Amino acid sequence: MLPPATPQRAAELAARASFGRLVSYLAWQWRDIAAAEDALGDALLKALEVWPVTGVPDAPDAWLLAVAKRQLLQAARHDKLRSEPAVVALLAQNETQDDAPAIPDARLKLLFVCAHPVLDEKVRIPLMLQTVLGLQVAEIAPALLVSPAALAQRLVRAKQKIRDTGLRFEEPQARELPERLSNVLESIYGAFGLSIDALDGAEARVTDLQEEAIYLCSIVCQLLPQADGVAEAWGLLALMTFCQARRAARTDALGRFVPLNQQNAALWSRDAIVRADQWLWAAAQKRQPGPFQLEAAVQSAHCHRLFTGTTPWSGIATLYQQINAHFPTQGSLVAGAVALAEAGDVAAGLQQLDAMDTRLTHSFQPWWVARGHLLCKLGKASHALADAAYRNAIGLTAQQTIKVHLERVRANLSDIG
């Protein structure tokens, strides 16, 4: 008999690793995202009941899929509005798990459904993050500056609209592709949890979805090799790979946060950086410039400290000028201000920070970190203002490792003063 915790752990691992893939497959067949999620949720609960008694099956994913299908079919018998073709399609599938059939990966199709223009653009990205990549509402809502309750309601309405309008779970036509692809890439970028880590202590929500996001982006690149806008997919793939290449250096041996400019470049992955440069070059050859390619170029410049020993801040500042001229965001404006200061023009960096919308910046943690960092560069006379900026940044920081780092920075200011 397996230890009691083993089946529970197996169910947890299946939910963590496969929920998005299984939901995508069920929704692709069933044309109802909410029903697919409910059925798979019930299957996971059933696993917690059955597996401690019978043992963990050899193919947990196939077991969960078979149980979820049966759940959907039982519901269909009581739902006269359910379209007959969808039911037949499910009935035709082999419901036994003995042969452990391969489960087709329908996540790309579902990503495009979630990016459909019939859906409110405010809900497309969180819908993708929740349905395809498995993020929870409580994780997504803070990044979108909405309450979890409000976001949950939006997602429920979106899933109902997908079901009621009968959206086709297929790849979009060529004329629809650029807009839908852009939304898909934004969702993948959000799932990766990126933030501009060029800032000294700016909080970045980097999660264990990095590999998943990179995998989904690689699927887009492989399945749409000649599509209009695919250069941005290659750019995003490069951007995420550059950032992941530095993962081992983000904390020291004691688990303390290490800002980018203080990281030991020898710990970065040379192979990953070379691969990312190749993907960025492939994107550039398509001559379809976009924000992901420019952001990837910034990260490439940072990563090449591994080879040159220096960071080309003037070049990075120029890249941010291009980004902010055409694709400005709060994060890119803040990062561009830091780049200006690091390139030698602290006054211009502070001016760029001060020109941003105060209704947004005063609750934006990286803005306060950048302000504190730039004020420090002005010398002792500005240390009191820098200290106040860092206090605000600490108050807006959720990650404990970042809090500790910023508190050390404040302590150093006091020592210098």
Summarised one tens digit per residue, pLDDT across range 156-185 is 999 999 888 888 777 777 788 888 888 889
Residue range 316-332: mean pLDDT, rounded: 95
Rounded to two decimals, the pTM is: 0.77
Query: Looking at the domain assignment, is residue 253 inside a domain?
Result: yes
CA angle 286, 290, 295 (to 5 degrees): 115
Whether 145 and 221 map to the same domain: the answer is no
Buried b (16+ CB within 10 A) or exposed e, 124-138: bbbbbbbbbbbbebe
Higher pLDDT, 61 or 228: 61
- Indicate the burial class of 5 (C-beta count within 10 angstroms; 0-12, 13-18, 19 or more): exposed
Mean pLDDT of the chain: 84
Whether 209 and 244 map to the same domain: the answer is yes
Structural domain count, the chain: 3
Q: What is the pLDDT of residue 196?
A: 46
Q: Which amino acid is at 200?
A: D
Contact 24, 132 (CB under 8 A): yes
Whether 202 and 278 map to the same domain: the answer is yes
Residue range 29-38: mean pLDDT, rounded: 86
Whether 83 and 110 map to the same domain: the answer is no
Query: Looking at the domain assignment, is residue 404 inside a domain?
Result: no
Q: Is the pLDDT of residue 96 over 80?
A: no
Residue-wise pLDDT tens digits, 259-304: 999 999 999 999 999 999 999 999 999 999 999 999 999 999 999 9
Residue-wise pLDDT tens digits, 42-85: 898 888 888 888 888 888 888 998 898 888 888 777 665 455 55
Whether 199 and 304 map to the same domain: the answer is yes
Mean pLDDT check: name the lowest of 95-99, 100-104, 222-226: 95-99
d(CA 385, CA 371): 9
d(CA 109, CA 154): 21
Residue-wise pLDDT tens digits, 357-411: 988 788 999 999 999 999 999 988 899 999 999 999 999 988 888 899 999 999 9
Whether 64 and 137 map to the same domain: the answer is no
Domain end (from 146, 166, 186) = 166
Whether 200 and 265 map to the same domain: the answer is yes
Whether 198 and 227 map to the same domain: the answer is yes
Among 98, 184, 180, CA closest to 133: 184
Task: Write out the two tokens for 101.
Answer: 């059939």
Residue 19's domain comprises: 5-91
Whether 212 and 261 map to the same domain: the answer is yes
Domain end (from 267, 294, 309) = 309
Q: What is the pLDDT of residue 235?
A: 97
Dihedral angle sign, alpha carbons of residues 340, 345, 346, 349: negative
Q: Is the pLDDT of residue 4 over 50?
A: no
Q: Which residues contact 277 (CB under 8 A, 6 or more apart)?
A: 238, 300
Provide the β-strand partners of residue 257: 251
Whether 36 and 76 map to the same domain: the answer is yes
Query: Looking at the domain assignment, is residue 383 inside a domain?
Result: no
Domain end (from 267, 287, 309) = 309
CA angle 40, 46, 47 (to 5 degrees): 90
**Max mean pLDDT range (10-14, 114-118, 283-287):** 283-287
Task: Write out the two tokens for 108.
Answer: 């790309």
